[in-house]
Structure 1
Amino acid sequence: MTALTTRVFRLPDLGEGLTEAGLVQWLVAVGDTVATDQAIAEVETAKSVVELPSPFAGVVTALHGEPGETIDVGAPVLEVADGAADSSGGASAAVEHDAYREEERAGSGNVLIGYGTAERSVSGRRRPRVQAAARQTPTSAGTPAPAPATSTATETSTATETSTASESVRSGSDARARRPVAVRSPLVRRLARDLGLDVHAIAPTGHDGAVTRADVLAAAVNVAVDGAAASPHDSPVDDGPGFDRRTDVIDGLSVASRERMSALRKAVSAKLARSRSEIPEATVWVDVDATDLWTLRSQMAPEGGTAPSVTALIARFVLLALEDHPVLASRLSDDGSELISFDGVNLGVAADTARGLMVPVIPRAHELSIEQLDGALRELSATARAGSMPPERLRGSTFTLNNYGGLGVDGSAAIINHPDVAILGIGRIIERAWVVEGQIVPRRIAQLSLVFDHRVCDGGYAAGFLRRVTELIEHPLRAFARV
Structure 2
Amino acid sequence: MSSELQVFRLPDLGEGLTEAELVNWLVAVGDQIKVDQPIAEVETAKSMVEVPSPYAGTVAELHGQTGETLDVGKPLISIAPVGAAPAEPKAPAATDDAVSTGVVTDAEASAAAETYRTEEKAGSGNVLIGYGTPGGATGGRTRPRKGSVAVVDAAPAAALEGSVAAPEARMEPAVAGTRIPGKLSAVISPLVRKMARDHGVSLDAINGSGASGLIMRRDVEAAISAPEAPVAPSAQAPAEAVAPAAASGDLDGRTGLAVSARTPVRGVRKAVAANMTKSRTEIPEATVWVDVDATALLDMRAELKKRSAHDTPGLLAFIARFVTAGLKKYPTLNTRFETGTDGSQEIVGFDGINLGFAAQTDRGLVVPSVRNAHQLSARELDAEIRRLTAVAREGKATPTELGSGTFTLNNYGVFGVDGSAAIINYPEVAMLGVGRIIDKPWVVNGELAVRKVTELTLAFDHRVCDGETAAGFLRYVADCIENPGGALADM
Provide the TM-score with structure 1 as the length reference.
0.53
| Residue of structure 1 in register with 2:256 after alignment | 252
Structure 1 position 373 matched with structure 2 position 373: no
Structure 1 position 412 matched with structure 2 position 420: yes
| Residue of structure 1 in register with 2:487 after alignment | 479
Measured after TM superposition, the shift of residue 184 of structure 1 is 9.8
| Residue of structure 2 in register with 1:284 after alignment | 288
Matches within 5 A, 1:382-397: 382-397=390-405
Instruction: Determine which of 297, 306, 312 is the counterpart of 1:307.
Output: 312
Structure 1 residues not aligned, in runs of 5+? 1-164, 195-207, 212-239
Measured after TM superposition, the shift of residue 242 of structure 1 is 5.8
CA distance in 2, matches of 1:386, 1:275: 27
Of structures 1 and 2, the larger Rg is shown by 1
Measured after TM superposition, the shift of residue 248 of structure 1 is 5.2
CA distance in 1, matches of 2:437, 2:349: 33
Measured after TM superposition, the shift of residue 245 of structure 1 is 1.4
CA distance in 2, matches of 1:448, 1:210: 47
Query: Match for 1:443: what amino acid?
Result: R
Measured after TM superposition, the shift of residue 167 of structure 1 is 9.5
CA distance in 2, matches of 1:410, 1:397: 25
Structure 1 position 325 matched with structure 2 position 325: no
Q: In structure 2, the residue corresponding to 1:444 is in which secondary structure?
A: strand
Measured after TM superposition, the shift of residue 456 of structure 1 is 0.4
Q: What's the CA shift string for 1:407-451, capped at 9, x where partnerless?
A: 111000111111111000000000011111221110010000000
CA distance in 1, matches of 2:300, 2:196: 49
Following TM superposition, the consecutive aligned residue runs of length 4 or more in structure 1 with deviations greater than 2 angstroms are 165-188, 190-194, 208-211, 246-250, 301-304, 333-336
Instruction: Determine which of 442, 445, 463 is the counterpart of 2:453.
Output: 445
Q: In structure 1, the residue corresponding to 2:409 is in which secondary structure?
A: strand
CA distance in 1, matches of 2:358, 2:246: 38
Structure 1 position 293 matched with structure 2 position 301: no
Measured after TM superposition, the shift of residue 309 of structure 1 is 0.9
Measured after TM superposition, the shift of residue 348 of structure 1 is 0.6
| Residue of structure 2 in register with 1:270 after alignment | 274
Does the Cα contact within 8 Å between 1:411 and 1:425 map onto a contact in 2?
A: yes
Q: What's the CA shift string for 1:53-102, capped at 9, x where partnerless?
A: xxxxxxxxxxxxxxxxxxxxxxxxxxxxxxxxxxxxxxxxxxxxxxxxxx
Matches within 5 A, 1:71-470: 166=94, 174-179=110-115, 182-183=187-188, 188-190=193-195, 243-245=247-249, 247=251, 250-301=254-305, 302-335=307-340, 337-470=345-478
Q: In structure 2, the residue corresponding to 1:418 is in which secondary structure?
A: coil
CA distance in 2, matches of 1:294, 1:192: 51
Q: What's the CA shift string for 1:142-194, capped at 9, x where partnerless?
A: xxxxxxxxxxxxxxxxxxxxxxx949977666544344954499994259879
CA distance in 1, matches of 2:397, 2:284: 31
Does the Cα contact within 8 Å between 2:406 and 2:428 map onto a contact in 1?
A: yes
Q: In structure 2, the residue corresponding to 1:252 is in which secondary structure?
A: coil
CA distance in 2, matches of 1:209, 1:482: 53
CA distance in 1, matches of 2:319, 2:270: 31
Q: In structure 2, the residue corresponding to 1:416 is in which secondary structure?
A: coil
Measured after TM superposition, the shift of residue 388 of structure 1 is 1.6
Measured after TM superposition, the shift of residue 387 of structure 1 is 1.7
Query: Match for 2:292: what amino acid?
Result: V
Query: Match for 2:262: what amino acid?
Result: R
CA distance in 2, matches of 1:307, 1:257: 46
Identity %: 45
Summarize the Cα distance change of 1:167–1:173 in structure 2 as closer, same or farther, 3 Å threshold: farther
| Residue of structure 2 in register with 1:99 after alignment | none
Provide the TM-score with structure 2 as the length reference.
0.52
CA distance in 2, matches of 1:382, 1:456: 34
Does the Cα contact within 8 Å between 2:319 and 2:481 map onto a contact in 1?
A: yes
Measured after TM superposition, the shift of residue 252 of structure 1 is 1.6
Q: What's the CA shift string for 1:312-353, capped at 9, x where partnerless?
A: 000101111111100100112243621111122010111111
Q: How many residues align?
A: 278
CA distance in 2, matches of 1:313, 1:472: 9
Summarize the Cα distance change of 1:318–1:184 in structure 2 as closer, same or farther, 3 Å threshold: same
Summarize the Cα distance change of 1:253–1:427 in structure 2 as closer, same or farther, 3 Å threshold: same
Q: In structure 2, the residue corresponding to 1:305 is in which secondary structure?
A: helix
Query: Match for 1:265: what amino acid?
Result: R
CA distance in 1, matches of 2:195, 2:463: 27
Q: What's the CA shift string for 1:119-148, capped at 9, x where partnerless?
A: xxxxxxxxxxxxxxxxxxxxxxxxxxxxxx
CA RMSD of aligned residues (A): 3.0
CA distance in 2, matches of 1:367, 1:475: 21
Structure 2 residues not aligned, in runs of 5+? 1-92, 98-104, 119-186, 200-212, 217-243
Does the Cα contact within 8 Å between 2:439 and 2:453 map onto a contact in 1?
A: yes
CA distance in 1, matches of 2:472, 2:215: 39
CA distance in 2, matches of 1:397, 1:468: 21
CA distance in 2, matches of 1:173, 1:261: 26
Q: In structure 1, the residue corresponding to 2:489 is in which secondary structure?
A: coil
CA distance in 2, matches of 1:247, 1:457: 50
CA distance in 1, matches of 2:246, 2:438: 50
Q: In structure 2, the residue corresponding to 1:261 is in which secondary structure?
A: coil
CA distance in 1, matches of 2:215, 2:386: 37
